[in-house]
Structure 1
């Protein structure tokens, strides 16, 4: 089966979050289960520079008057199959991240940029590349949501029989634009309707994917249930409940070729579940690197995250006094909300030797933090899947999580029962409140005071395997059902 994967990000070339990790790892996993995958990405500078050799496939007509765009076929290093790049310099050749300028202000023409990505996907679905035509277009998140709408329009015109699958990575980010922009999207007028992509008087790219796709997936079983509720449905829960028969929760995986402490070149010393001694070396090395006190007995807590309220970082600040009073240390890597950045900076200035802060997203440093940390903090208000806790498990950094979404699916709390059964892998709390997070923190400190039990839980955590092969098999089944209806 031929599948075109459409994504705005692709690891290792362009990453702002977990979407890139998924888009980068899934093609190889699908190939192992017999799916022929090609990727379509926008011509952002980092992707364009890695793309080689580029062969023109066809121009892409713009729904507006100015500019040019073309589909190129080539390769990206490390991907075994050809890839497509949407070359539109006027739209994609810009500084900043894929969605905003260097000041963090969203580009005013994002509706055009990502509508064109969906339109290019539809052209490939129609067979504009005479050498390869997909049976399924798999669109990732709101940036690719209009691919489902454009393919649906092409099917209505009898230009393709291609089916579509839409994956929700985070329902909170919906790609909403003023209704006045609809005329620039290249879609039939009838698509701007309640039974279409109209969302409370706006154009909704996420809603387009949810409405027009033949099958829907999201990135964990629990999140698939949660988004059908008013609390986490972000105004789309009614639509999701109506489409529940084609909605599948498929847990993201980990690429253990990249996230394995036994073979990670960025670490001071490799280690494994059965030979964990190197973890202490990694901890000492990170303490030196980040200016923390050299103390092997201090439990080290790590945060690798966008600094946003959604990620539960205010809870970390609220429990920080308890963590520090118990002799713990905290290292934070990330950037985002200016207030949170300032508060973590103030904590680092006030508690030198116990709190360290690094801004931005440094992939190698992230690996070193997982390797050095005894606990990784993931207290998200909501979390579709989460990869942070999965990386923490692999590196023996026991996750402390708010039990929602994929966090609930992957972390077993250190209750007395689960400790006795040998299944505990971390610390979880259910209420999104400081007092609940504080109790989970105290459980982690209590376990830390019992080294033999800590070592056993850490070994259990490191032996967990959340690989991509299981997910790929489920995606293949979704593709087959979308195409064949069986």
Structure 2
């Protein structure tokens, strides 16, 4: 089956979060099941730089609004060798060749024409389903998150105009909180038929909603864990879309993200000072000592390290970690963090590290190589999120024998089994807590510290954690099942 994945970023070329990891890992997993998969991406500098053997498919002549500001626009086809996938890339320098990030400038201000930049992405996806490339057209469009939310909308409009089924569509929500909402007057710039405005279309509380459009018009909907699929149908986490999602419950699936074994595997990870596996953990001890030296922490094999790799936002519960830090250190933990986000939070973590450099180490920014070393060298990884669609760092922690301490929410609830006296020898893989508070987080780290003081029990839970099977093969099988239901 021919499948077109539509997304805004892809690992390892461009990454702002877990979406890129999924975009990079799912195509090879589907290809292993015999499917022909290509990706469609905006022509950001990093993507164009990684495109090999590029040829011009065609010049692009989108609706007038979408072409405003884009300048020259054309569709390229080639191979993203670093991501191991064939790709279409929209070469529109006026939209994508900018010095800031993919969605916002250097001051974290969203670009004012994002509705055009990502509207064009959706329009091209639908055009590919109509034969824009005469040599290849997809049977299924799989659109990821709000950036690609208009792909199913443009496809639906084309199918209505042509009175034929061109391709099936699947829309995956990676985080419902980021919806791609814009002023209503921008709808006129998109070239969509007038009837696509309104409650039964892309209108969302008087605004233009890319996420809303994808949720309304795609043939099938998915999100990235079964628990999150249930949570977003309720007001607390439905972000105003819970009513729509309840009406589409029969079309909504929760499919867990996986871990790309070619990237995250402690037995083969070239980014580590020493490799290890569940049968021989001597390399993990070396990773820990190396990490303590690198970060200026006291080198002590018996003192556990709790780490975080995250965006610094309240959604991720990082303000709870700040409140808990003094108690965490008092419990006997060292703390190491890699992340960036809210400026006040960055400053607060820096101040904490400056005050206690032998116990707390903080790096602001993102460094893929250091993320691997940090997770491998730590004993526990903290993920105290307010909400968490799937989460990937807890999966990396499981894989690397770094026990997750997580809140029971979303994908965290689906992937980590709590350690209790009656679960140590059966299912336990980490520590799970309920309440979204610093007090509950500290109680959870105290339980983790107590487990660490019992080496045999710690080893039992760690061994089971490392043997959990969160690869991409099962997810690919579930997506394949959806594709077969909707294919053109």
Q: Shorter-normalised TM-score: what interval?
A: over 0.9
TM-superposition CA deviations, 1:355-402 (whole Å, max 9, x none): 001011100000000101100000110000000000000111100001
Instruction: Confirm or deny that 1:388 pairs with 2:388.
Output: no
Q: 1:138 maps to which residue? A: 142
Distance of 1:302 and 1:78 partners within structure 2: 28
- Matched with 1:51 is 51
Q: Which residue of 2 aligns with 1:176?
A: 181
Flag structure 2 segments of 5+ consecutive residues without an equivalent.
none
1:167-203 deviations in whole A, cap 9, x for unaligned?
Answer: 0000000000000111111211111110101001000
Distance 1:285 1:336 in 2: 27
3-state SS of the aligned residue for 1:73? strand
1:8/1:42 contact within 8 Å kept: yes
Distance in 1 (CA, whole Å) between partners of 2:473 and 2:53 is: 30
Paired position in structure 2 for 1:41: 41
Count of paired positions: 483
Q: Show the 5 A alignment for 1:225-240.
A: 225-240=230-245
How far apart, in 1, do the equivalents of 2:238 and 2:61 lie? 35
Aligned equivalents of 1:49 and 1:398: distance in 2?
Answer: 37
**What is the distance in 1 between the residues matched to 2:365 and 2:49?**
22
CA contact (8 A) 1:126 1:160 kept: no
Summarize the alignment of residues 87-106 of structure 1 with structure 2, pairs less than 5 Å apart: 87-106=91-110
Confirm or deny: 8 A CA contact 1:154 1:160 kept in the other structure.
no
2:218 is matched with which residue: 207, 213, 216? 213
1:96-137: per-residue Cα shift (whole Å, max 9, x none)?
211011111111110100000000101101011111010110
Counterpart of 2:487 in structure 1 is 483
Q: Is the 8 A contact 1:219 1:252 kept in 2?
A: yes
Counterparts of 2:138 and 2:238 in 1: how far apart (Å)?
A: 31
1:53-452 map, 5 Å = 53-63=53-63, 64=65, 65-66=68-69, 67-158=71-162, 161-421=166-426, 423-452=427-456
After TM superposition, give the deviation of residue 268 of structure 1 in Å: 1.1
Asked if the contact 1:61/1:68 (under 8 Å) is kept, the reply is no
SS, match of residue 340 in structure 1 = helix
Which deviations, in whole Å up to 9, do the C-alpha atoms of 1:319-364 show, x marking residues without a partner?
2111111221000101001111111011001111100010111000
2:470 to 466, 471, 484: 466
Q: Distance in 1 between matches of 2:327 and 2:454?
A: 19
- Alpha carbons 1:376, 1:389 under 8 Å: kept: yes
Cα distance in 2 for partners of 1:408, 1:80 equals: 32
Cα distance in 1 between the residues matched to 2:108 and 2:85 = 34
> Residue 297 of structure 1: CA displacement?
1.3
**C-alpha displacement at 1:79, in angstroms?**
4.9
Contact 1:370 1:395 in 2 (8 A): yes
Secondary structure, counterpart of 1:305 in structure 2: strand
| TM-score with structure 2 setting the length | 0.97
Return the alpha-carbon distance in structure 2 between the equivalents of residues 224 and 153 of structure 1.
27
CA distance in 2, matches of 1:16, 1:93: 17
Q: Which is further off, 427-436 or 462-471?
A: 427-436
Confirm or deny: 8 A CA contact 1:136 1:162 kept in the other structure: yes
CA 1:212–1:360 in structure 2 vs 1: closer, same or farther (change >3 Å)? same
Question: How much is the aligned-residue C-alpha RMSD, in angstroms?
Answer: 1.1
- Following superposition, the deviation at residue 80 of structure 1 comes to 4.9
Q: What TM-score do the two structures reach when normalised by structure 1?
A: 0.98
Unpaired stretches in structure 1, ≥5 consecutive residues: none
- How far is the alpha carbon of 1:441 from its aligned partner? 1.0
